[in-house]
């Protein structure tokens, strides 16, 4: 049996009382009518015995019910929204079936005259006689459209990014979770704009916001059927249901940025990097899919940006290995298992030892002494690099103090400072003060830096740090010269005392005349601007001779000595400087500043 709304009109609460009680009941009913009107309720009644519904005037007005029309079941159902009819019928049948004494629903009317959709709240209750038999249903209806609309606006604001109108991170993750719970196959596409920071730095954050909005519009136009979100900053995400091809979508997104965007009368060529992952490969949980797509995005950026990469299981294995190495290495630093070994630098003319370079070594309790090849993954971790820098400086200061106490002449000791170290406030003063505590003066120190310190958007900060080192009396050497970017500019802009020619040029000098010519040119150029030159990775007498003929000042490599622990330094210094080291193995190529 379906629900037929009816009026609880004046005089319809039941049989009229005896004549002597009419006046009193009239006042009671009038008060009730006024209270109902004040509450905004429209009331109705349905007599179960006669099947007769009665509607109040307020309910007819609410429903735009023409006065000339009778109250008919089939007409009423044209007013209830088609999608809501089943829940209304189910609630009414449950009440009449004894499963409930009443119900409270919120559903929609489609008004017959204006065509508007109206949200209403309806309360209904079953009335029984003295024998407990149901005799009528009474109810009330209230227009709650404004509340529903306000709640919808709040929901939209809570779920959508205020700038682009796309889903925000929280809402997108919830939709990702719903897709996961449904058990279907799905794919995730993560997009990151390349070099977006340049727009903010050049034109300000307002321009950056305009660019993000323009990109979001292009993405929506390129993939209109995808669930799309702005996860934050310049990162976007798309969720593809079963059948969606992530590679095809990635192509559409990249193509949508083929033409430049005009922002504040400036045109910008915008590119993006994309990582994709499918649940069939990455796993069924939202967390695993997000992690997989993020790894793929990282791989796309690492491969040169402006490209797409799909997740492969070996990406996760690689990251897990990296995490394990970082965790183990941090523990090794805390246990003081990491210490500097010292490789000599010699004067190519006199053969004298002019200094040493402190190189990190992990003295593993089971695996022996490990070079940075074994813990190279830690070089990308800022926390590990800062801890390593502190450990090497602490131990080097102690070692140098012991050499001074023993009367050993060792020249300058070079310490590598990582890019992360340059971000430490007051690093130059901290560095010099640390050695001063051991009575080691700045004239015995040299810092080695790589070009990535100078070109990664922190050139002004790097210049100030280097200036402070220079003023303190510490020499500065530019490592891996010739392998980075715009090296000649660096020689002009920064207070550098020496350059180190990378071992990749030294290794083939004997066989490749072009390498010899490059090395000779670099040496001549450095001398012309007053810099000294150090050659790395010298392993043969012939290499040393070529360098000597080209005018190279200093050299280091296995020809003159392998990196050695501090206990070996006194014995090494007691021999002739050019005595060959017993080991002639190749010192492995290491990440910047940490060989």
pLDDT of residue 37: 60
Mean pLDDT of 377-387: 88
3-state secondary structure of 410: coil
Q: C-alpha distances in angstroms, 433 versus 429, 465, 472?
A: 6, 15, 10
Confidence tier at 7 by pLDDT (50, 70, 90): very low
Mean pLDDT of 451-465: 76
Are the C-beta atoms of 364 and 338 separated by less than 8 Å?
no
Are the C-beta atoms of 76 and 4 separated by less than 8 Å?
yes
3-state secondary structure of 16: coil
User: 485: exposed, middle or buried (C-beta count within 10 Å: 0-12, 13-18, 19+)?
Assistant: exposed
How far apart CA 98 and CA 134 sit, in angstroms, is 10
- Among 233-237, 261-265, 388-392, 520-524, the minimum mean pLDDT is found in 261-265
Confidence tier at 299 by pLDDT (50, 70, 90): very high
- Among 27-31, 178-182, 424-428, 510-514, the minimum mean pLDDT is found in 27-31
Are the C-beta atoms of 582 and 572 separated by less than 8 Å?
no
385 has pLDDT over 60? yes
Nearest to 226 by CA among 281, 163, 179: 179
Residue 119 gets the label, from left (phi > 0), alpha (psi -120 to 50) or beta, of beta
How far apart CA 417 and CA 450 sit, in angstroms, is 9
Residues in a beta bridge with 121? 106, 142
Tokens at 338, concatenated: 């990491």
DSSP-derived secondary structure for 39-97: HT-EEEEEETTTTEEEE-HHHHHHTT--TTS---HHHHHTTB-GGGHHHHHHHHHHHHT
pLDDT of residue 72: 63
pLDDT of residue 414: 97
Nearest to 345 by CA among 502, 559, 550: 559
pLDDT of residue 458: 64
pTM: 0.62
How far apart CA 432 and CA 441 sit, in angstroms, is 8
pLDDT of residue 195: 80
Q: What are phi and psi of 130, to 5 degrees?
A: -65, -20
594 has pLDDT over 50? no
pLDDT of residue 544: 95
How far apart CA 552 and CA 516 sit, in angstroms, is 12
394 or 201: which leads in pLDDT: 394
Nearest to 17 by CA among 26, 5, 7: 26
Residues in a beta bridge with 533? 499
Confidence tier at 204 by pLDDT (50, 70, 90): confident
Confidence tier at 69 by pLDDT (50, 70, 90): low
pLDDT of residue 359: 96
405 has pLDDT over 70? yes
- Among 193-202, 423-432, 516-525, the minimum mean pLDDT is found in 193-202
Among 26-40, 156-170, 530-544, 574-588, the range of highest mean pLDDT: 530-544
pLDDT of residue 221: 93
pLDDT of residue 99: 81
Tokens at 124, concatenated: 């209904």
Average pLDDT, the chain: 84
What is the tens place of the pLDDT at every residue in 539-581? 999 999 999 999 999 999 999 999 999 999 988 876 544 344 3
pLDDT of residue 580: 40
How far apart CA 471 and CA 454 sit, in angstroms, is 19
How far apart CA 217 and CA 211 sit, in angstroms, is 10
Nearest to 532 by CA among 509, 555, 514: 555
Contacts of 56 (CB under 8 A, 6+ apart): 7, 8, 9, 36, 42, 43, 44
Percent of the chain residues topping a pLDDT of 90 = 52
How far apart CA 93 and CA 3 sit, in angstroms, is 8
pLDDT of residue 109: 94
pLDDT of residue 316: 87
103 has pLDDT over 70? yes
Mean pLDDT of 29-49: 71
């Amino acid at each position: 049996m379906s629900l037929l709304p009816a009026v609880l009109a004046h005089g319809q609460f039941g049989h009229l009382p005896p004549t002597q009680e009419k006046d009193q009941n009239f006042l009671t009913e009038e008060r009730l009518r006024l209270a109902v009107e004040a509450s905004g309720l429209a009331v109705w009644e349905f007599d179960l015995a006669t099947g007769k519904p009665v509607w109040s005037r307020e309910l007819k007005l609410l429903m735009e019910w023409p006065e000339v029309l009778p109250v008919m079941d089939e007409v009423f159902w044209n007013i209830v929204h088609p999608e809501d009819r089943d829940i209304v019928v189910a609630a009414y049948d449950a009440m009449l079936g004894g499963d409930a004494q009443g119900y409270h629903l919120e559903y929609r009317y489609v008004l017959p005259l204006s065509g508007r959709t109206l949200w209403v709240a309806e309360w209904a209750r079953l009335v029984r006689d003295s024998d407990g038999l149901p005799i009528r249903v009474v109810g009330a209806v209230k227009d709650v459209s404004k509340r529903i609309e306000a709640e919808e606006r709040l929901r939209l604001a809570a779920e959508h990014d205020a700038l682009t109108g796309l889903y925000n991170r929280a809402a997108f993750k919830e939709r990702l979770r719903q897709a996961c719970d449904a058990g279907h196959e799905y794919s995730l596409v993560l997009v990151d704009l390349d070099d977006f920071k340049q727009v903010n730095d050049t034109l300000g954050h307002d321009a950056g916001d305009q660019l993000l909005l323009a990109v979001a519009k292009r993405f929506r136009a390129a993939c209109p059927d995808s669930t799309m979100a702005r996860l934050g900053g310049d990162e976007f995400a798309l969720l593809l249901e079963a059948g969606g091809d992530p590679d095809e979508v990635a192509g559409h997104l990249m193509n949508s940025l083929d033409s430049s965007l005009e922002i504040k009368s400036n045109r910008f060529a915008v590119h993006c990097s994309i990582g994709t992952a499918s649940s069939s490969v990455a796993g069924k949980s939202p967390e695993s899919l997000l992690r997989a797509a993020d790894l793929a995005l990282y791989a796309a950026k690492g491969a040169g940006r402006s490209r797409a990469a799909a997740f492969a299981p070996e990406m996760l294995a690689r990251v897990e290995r990296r995490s394990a190495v970082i965790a183990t290495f941090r523990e090794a630093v805390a246990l003081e298992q990491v210490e500097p070994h010292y490789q000599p630098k010699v004067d190519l003319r006199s053969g004298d030892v002019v200094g040493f370079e402190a190189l990190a070594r992990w003295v593993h309790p089971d695996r022996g002494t490990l070079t940075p090849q074994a813990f190279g993954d830690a070089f990308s971790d800022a926390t590990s690099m800062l801890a390593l820098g502190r450990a090497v400086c602490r131990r080097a200061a102690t070692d140098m103090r012991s050499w001074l106490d023993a009367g050993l002449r060792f020249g300058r000791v070079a310490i590598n400072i990582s890019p992360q170290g340059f971000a430490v406030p007051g690093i130059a003063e901290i560095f010099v003060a640390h050695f001063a505590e051991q009575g080691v003066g700045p004239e015995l120190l040299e810092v080695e830096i790589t070009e990535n310190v100078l070109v990664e958007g922190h050139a002004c900060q790097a210049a100030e740090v280097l200036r402070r080192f220079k003023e303190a009396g510490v020499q500065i050497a530019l490592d891996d010269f010739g392998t980075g970017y715009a090296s000649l500019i660096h020689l002009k802009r920064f207070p550098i005392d020496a350059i180190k020619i990378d071992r990749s040029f030294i290794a083939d000098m004997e066989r490749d005349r072009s390498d010899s010519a490059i090395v000779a040119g670099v040496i001549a150029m450095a001398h012309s601007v007053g810099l000294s030159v150090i050659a790395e990775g010298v392993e043969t007498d012939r290499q040393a001779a070529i360098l000597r003929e080209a005018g190279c000042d200093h050299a280091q490599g296995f020809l003159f000595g392998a990196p050695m622990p501090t206990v070996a330094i006194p014995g090494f210094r007691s021999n002739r400087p050019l005595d060959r080291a017993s080991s002639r193995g190749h010192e492995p190529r290491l990440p910047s500043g940490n060989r």
